[in-house]
Chain A
């Protein structure tokens, strides 16, 4: 069964600290993996997208890693800011006959405190 599991469910950190969010997936055959940021009450916004051959992708203070062998990804946030408080969603796409299937994780809720 194609699944995307994220951990932790929620996380509280102090402003300026770093954190790492995890994503494990059982999606097959793998096409690509994306990380989105979703502010409360708003639509998700793309942070990174990685294909099978990529193992690191950065977007400012956000760095995503991908280990396609172990089917794990992480999102590392450096020097967190209050505006980083949001849900972070891992999304994996799988190839299928006639197109692709996209599976969303439930997200990690990050709270950054002053």
Chain B
């Protein structure tokens, strides 16, 4: 089944404790992206990747890191999480960026205490 998977789905952590949220897609898509979704706001892009080893900042990259060593994986790293990073995070992929429908993962609900 074609899908985007994220792990973990739920995470409660404390300020400053490094964490990684994994994202994997099995559709051989070149483009992958991370978003955060907060109440009353639209999804905001954190980072995106056009292809392996090619990443770029989105609208809200502060406090996050990403890597794209393999085509299928695009982990999101929070080196020192803070409470303002409490949010719902979505990973998405698409064949390319232009005019392509994005396929979203199920989401990761992160709480930073």
Q: Would you call A99 and B50 a contact (CB within 8 A)?
A: yes
Q: How far is the CA of A27 from the CA of B4 in the complex (A)?
A: 28
Q: A31-B98, A49-B101 are in contact. Are A104 and B92 (CB under 8 A)?
A: no
Residues 31-67 of A contacting B (Cβ, < 8 Å): 31-32, 34, 41-46, 49, 51
Cβ contacts under 8 Å, A49 to chain B? 99, 101
Cβ contacts under 8 Å, B104 to chain A? 43-45
Q: Would you call B101 and A104 a contact (CB within 8 A)?
A: no
Count, chain A residues at interface, CB 8 A: 22
Q: Which of A4, A42, A43, A46 touches B42 (beta carbons < 8 Å)?
A: A4
Asked if A21 is an interface residue, CB under 8 A from chain B, the answer is no
Asked if B106 is an interface residue, CB under 8 A from chain A, the answer is yes
Asked if A11 is an interface residue, CB under 8 A from chain B, the answer is no
Q: Which of A34, A43, A103 touches B101 (beta carbons < 8 Å)?
A: A34
Q: Which of B41, B45, B92, B99 touches A31 (beta carbons < 8 Å)?
A: B99
Q: Would you call B42 and A32 a contact (CB within 8 A)?
A: no
19 contacts between A and B (CB under 8 A): A4-B42, A31-B98, A34-B101, A43-B92, A43-B105, A43-B106, A43-B107, A46-B101, A46-B102, A46-B103, A89-B42, A93-B98, A93-B99, A99-B56, A99-B97, A103-B42, A104-B42, A105-B42, A106-B40
Which 10 A-B residue pairings sit nearest by Cβ, starting from the closest? A43-B104, A104-B42, A46-B101, A104-B43, A106-B42, A44-B104, A105-B42, A32-B99, A43-B90, A100-B97
